[in-house]
Amino acid sequence: METEKKTQTAAEQMTDRDLSEQIKKVTKESHVRAENTELMLSFQKGQVTLQQYKLLLCSLYEVYQALEEELDRNSNHPGVAPIYFPAELARLEAIEKDLEYFYGQDWREKIVVPTATKRYCHRLRQIGKENPAFLVAHAYTRYLGDLSGGQVLGRIAQKSMGLKSSEGLSFFAFPGVSSPNLFKQLYRSRMNSVELTEEERNGVLEEAVRAFELNIQVFDDLQKMLSVTENKLQNCSTHSSNTPAKTLQIPGPIIKTAPLLRMVLGLFVALATVSLGIYAF
């Protein structure tokens, strides 16, 4: 791509004052922690299960929905416009396709997300409203991650889950990006073109560390959810298509008291009360 080629020289000229360099530096330690979460280690060892991946997709759906809605809404904001690449980067449609592949047509009714995912989305919506200049921190964390380690993880996931074609793995494919490395260079140079005051710059850097933290919390919650519910997740209850995804409080098993059991218990309590009343009388 012509635009990607043009950025090669720009990338070579980057300095320590560049946002792209600073953001990479401040999130270095968080990146290592993210890589070492149980969920990411399962990916790297080629042991990711279908259940793990399906659950991750549900959370990614919620996160990208919030992120991309906020980016779209703020696309003319001076802190967003330079890094706004919906045609190349948008993930929501790809995730929807994958969810349909794994969960079937009624996938919207089956989405389950942990509390940490709701927290992450809440933060995205909050900064979209109050401080759109911070969105770059979140877009960087997710999209550059997807274009970096994410590319390898996609290939590993395909093998681990025994998928014969790339069906169910649209999330990892970026048809609008011919070279992830060149595109990342373009993205970095666009990040560096955003004009920020010292205070805003510090805010963006802090937000990037927070973005990694929110991702780590999602991975940890997903893992806890899996160990608590084991195979029960597949039988999760249905929702109307317009209702938001079900949130699970972690830790804690999902227990649904059967209505019949509740009726029997109620009858038992009523009988006991009446018997006690007669006895006292």
Task: Give the residue among 232, 254, 245, 253 at the shortest CA–CA distance from 107.
Answer: 245
The answer to whether 53 touches 165, Cβ cutoff 8 Å, is no
Residues 83-142 that bind ligand HEM (CB under 6 A): 140-141
Please state, in angstroms and rounded to a whole number, the distance separating the CA atoms of residues 106 and 183: 35
Please state, in angstroms and rounded to a whole number, the distance separating the CA atoms of residues 63 and 142: 10
Q: Work out whether strand 112-114 and strand 246-248 pair parallel, antiparallel, or are unpaired.
A: parallel
Nearer to ligand HEM, 134 or 212 (CB): 212
Tokens of 227: 């160990």
Q: In 10 A of CB 3, how many CB atoms?
A: 11
| Widest distance between CA atoms in the chain | 95
Is residue 144 involved in binding ligand HEM (CB under 6 A)? yes
Q: Is 24 annotated as a binding residue?
A: yes
Is residue 180 involved in binding ligand HEM (CB under 6 A)? no
Terminal Cα distance for the chain, rounded: 91
Number of residues that bind ligand HEM (CB under 6 A): 16
Site mask, ligand HEM, residues 182-221, x = CB under 6 A? ------------------------------x--x------
Q: Is 101 annotated as a binding residue?
A: no
Nearer to ligand HEM, 107 or 120 (CB): 120
The one segment of 32-40, 97-105, 163-171, 237-245 that binds ligand HEM by CB under 6 A: 32-40
Residues 44-83 that bind ligand HEM (CB under 6 A): 44
Q: What is the binding site for ligand HEM (CB under 6 A)?
A: 24, 31, 34-35, 40, 43-44, 140-141, 144-145, 148-149, 153, 212, 215
